[in-house]
Chain A
Amino acid sequence: MALAKLEQLSKSVVQGPSLATGAVPTKDWMETPAIFKEGNFAYPAKQEKVEYLDSQDGLSFPNARIWSPDEDDWKLPENWQETILKGLQERLDKFRSLKIFMDCCVRCGACADKCHFFLGTGDPKNMPVLRAELLRSVYRNDFTLAGKLFGKMAGGREMTVGVLKEWFMYSYQCTECRRCSVFCPYGIDTAEVTMMLRELLHLVGIGINWILEPASNSNRTGNHMGLQPHTFKDNVDFLAEDVETLTGVKINHSFNRKGAEVLFITPSADVFAEPGLYTAMGYLALFEQIGLDYTWSTYASEGGNFGLFTNNELMKKLNAKMFAEAKRLGVKYIIGGECGHMWRVVHQYMDTMNGPADFMEVPRSPITGTVFENARSTKMIHISEFTADLIKHGKIKLDPSRNKHVKATFHDSCNTARAMGLMDEPRYILDHVVPDWVEMPENTIREQTFCCGSGTGLNTDEIMELRMRAGLPRANAVKHVIDKHDVNMLSCVCAIDRATLSSLMGYWNPGCDVCGVSELVGNALVMDNEKRAMGYDAEGNESELPDGLRTMV
Chain B
Amino acid sequence: MKYAFSFLAVLALVLIAWLGSMIPGMQYLFGVAIPYLAILIFLGGFVYRVVQWAKSPVPFSIPTTCGQGKSLDFIKQDKLDCPTKTSEVVARMFLEIFAFRSLFRNTKSELHEGPKITYESSRWLWLAALLFHYSFLVIIIRHMRLFLNPVPQWLQFLDFLDAGAMLQVGAPLLYASDLAILAGILFLFGRRLVNRNVRYISLANDYFPLFLIFAIAATGILMRYFLRTDIDIINIKELLVGLVTLSPVINAEIGSIFYIHVFLVSALLIYFPFSKLMHMGGVFMSPTRNMANDSRAKRHINPWNDPSIKPHSYAGYEDEFREFMVDAGIPVEKELPPKKDEE
Give A residues with C-beta under 8 Å from B. 10, 13-14, 19-22, 24-25, 29, 56-59, 92-101, 103-110, 112-114, 119, 124, 127, 129-130, 133, 144-146, 153-155, 178, 181-189, 192, 219-222, 228-230, 233-234, 255-258, 298-299, 313, 316-318, 320-321, 324-325, 328, 346-349, 351-353, 355-356, 370, 372-378, 380, 385, 388-389, 392, 417-425, 428, 441, 443-444, 446-447, 472-473, 476
User: Given contacts A104-B276, A192-B62, A476-B115, are A298 and B330 in contact (CB under 8 A)?
Assistant: yes
A154 and B112: CB pair below 8 A? Answer: no
Measured CA separation A374–B295 after assembly (Å): 9
List 10 other contacts, CB 8 Å, given A186-B289, A320-B309: A14-B111, A58-B309, A93-B56, A108-B125, A119-B109, A183-B102, A374-B296, A418-B66, A421-B82, A446-B67
Give chain A nearest CB distance to B97 CB in angstroms: 9
The one of A22, A98, A346, A392 in contact with B72, judged by C-beta atoms closer than 8 angstroms, is: A392
Measured CA separation A417–B64 after assembly (Å): 9
A185 and B200: CB pair below 8 A? Answer: no
> Which residues of B sit under 8 angstroms from A101, Cβ to Cβ?
286
B295 and A348: CB pair below 8 A? Answer: yes
> Which residues of B sit under 8 angstroms from A234, Cβ to Cβ?
328
Measured CA separation A389–B60 after assembly (Å): 29
B69 and A422: CB pair below 8 A? Answer: yes
The one of B61, B66, B195, B320 in contact with A348, judged by C-beta atoms closer than 8 angstroms, is: B61
The chain A residue sitting closest to B102, CB to CB, is: A185
0/1 interface trace, chain B 47-64, chain A, CB 8 Å (1 if under): 001001111111111101
Q: Sample 5 A-B pairs with CB under 8 A, ordered by A number.
A: A109-B197, A124-B200, A256-B330, A376-B297, A420-B65
B114 and A58: CB pair below 8 A? Answer: no
Give chain A nearest CB distance to B26 CB in angstroms: 25
0/1 interface trace, chain B 95-119, chain A, CB 8 Å (1 if under): 0100010110111110111111101
- Could you tell me how many residues of chain B have their Cβ less than 8 Å away from some Cβ of chain A? 102
User: Given contacts A229-B324, A444-B119, A472-B115, are A103 and B295 in contact (CB under 8 A)?
Assistant: no
B119 and A103: CB pair below 8 A? Answer: no
Measured CA separation A318–B317 after assembly (Å): 13
Measured CA separation A270–B76 after assembly (Å): 30
The one of A185, A230, A353, A421 in contact with B302, judged by C-beta atoms closer than 8 angstroms, is: A353
B195 and A99: CB pair below 8 A? Answer: no
A324 and B59: CB pair below 8 A? Answer: no
User: Given contacts A375-B297, A392-B74, are A443 and B107 in contact (CB under 8 A)?
Assistant: yes
B177 close to A (CB within 8 Å): no
The one of B71, B199, B324 in contact with A24, judged by C-beta atoms closer than 8 angstroms, is: B199
The chain A residue sitting closest to B100, CB to CB, is: A185
B321 close to A (CB within 8 Å): yes
B28 close to A (CB within 8 Å): no
> Which residues of B sit under 8 angstroms from A355, Cβ to Cβ?
299
B330 and A255: CB pair below 8 A? Answer: yes
A424 and B115: CB pair below 8 A? Answer: no
The interface centre, meaning the residue of B66, B116, B129 with most chain A CB atoms within 10 A of its CB, is: B66
- Near A by CB (< 8 A), chain B positions 299-343 give 299-302, 304-306, 308-314, 317-318, 320-321, 324-325, 327-331
The one of A103, A146, A356, A421 in contact with B299, judged by C-beta atoms closer than 8 angstroms, is: A356
B143 close to A (CB within 8 Å): no
B200 and A25: CB pair below 8 A? Answer: yes
Q: Which stretch, B202-210, B213-221, B260-268, touches the partner chain A?
A: B202-210
A97 and B115: CB pair below 8 A? Answer: no
> Which residues of A sit under 8 angstroms from B114, Cβ to Cβ?
10, 14, 476
The interface centre, meaning the residue of A153, A182, A185, A352 with most chain B CB atoms within 10 A of its CB, is: A185
B115 and A418: CB pair below 8 A? Answer: no
> Which residues of A sit under 8 angstroms from B113, Cβ to Cβ?
14
Measured CA separation A421–B301 after assembly (Å): 21
> Which residues of B sit under 8 angstroms from A94, Cβ to Cβ?
56-57, 59, 304
Measured CA separation A146–B278 after assembly (Å): 13
Measured CA separation A319–B54 after assembly (Å): 28
User: Given contacts A100-B282, A107-B198, A425-B71, are A233 and B328 in contact (CB under 8 A)?
Assistant: yes
Measured CA separation A388–B301 after assembly (Å): 31
> Which residues of A sit under 8 angstroms from B91, Cβ to Cβ?
none
Measured CA separation A347–B82 after assembly (Å): 14
Give chain A nearest CB distance to B222 CB in angstroms: 27
> Which residues of B sit under 8 angstroms from A24, Cβ to Cβ?
196, 199-200
User: Given contacts A21-B111, A93-B56, A377-B299, are A184 and B282 in contact (CB under 8 A)?
Assistant: no
Give chain A nearest CB distance to B9 CB in angstroms: 9
> Which residues of A sit under 8 angstroms from B65, Cβ to Cβ?
417-421, 447
> Which residues of B sit under 8 angstroms from A100, Cβ to Cβ?
53, 282, 285-287
B196 and A422: CB pair below 8 A? Answer: no
> Which residues of B sit under 8 angstroms from A133, Cβ to Cβ?
201
A10 and B115: CB pair below 8 A? Answer: yes
A112 and B297: CB pair below 8 A? Answer: no
User: Given contacts A228-B324, A317-B310, are A112 and B197 in contact (CB under 8 A)?
Assistant: yes
A321 and B200: CB pair below 8 A? Answer: no
Measured CA separation A25–B202 after assembly (Å): 14
> Which residues of B sit under 8 angstroms from A353, Cβ to Cβ?
302, 305
The chain B residue sitting closest to A322, CB to CB, is: B311
B159 close to A (CB within 8 Å): no
Measured CA separation A187–B287 after assembly (Å): 8
The interface centre, meaning the residue of B62, B107, B288, B327 with most chain A CB atoms within 10 A of its CB, is: B288
B85 close to A (CB within 8 Å): no
User: Given contacts A155-B204, A229-B324, A298-B325, are A119 and B296 in contact (CB under 8 A)?
Assistant: no
A423 and B59: CB pair below 8 A? Answer: no
A103 and B278: CB pair below 8 A? Answer: yes
Measured CA separation A257–B206 after assembly (Å): 61
Give chain B nearest CB distance to A327 CB in angstroms: 10
A228 and B321: CB pair below 8 A? Answer: yes
Give chain B nearest CB distance to A170 CB in angstroms: 14
Measured CA separation A266–B36 after assembly (Å): 63
B5 close to A (CB within 8 Å): yes
The chain A residue sitting closest to B204, CB to CB, is: A153
> Which residues of B sit under 8 angstroms from A92, Cβ to Cβ?
56
> Which residues of A sit under 8 angstroms from B285, Cβ to Cβ?
96, 100
Measured CA separation A59–B52 after assembly (Å): 29
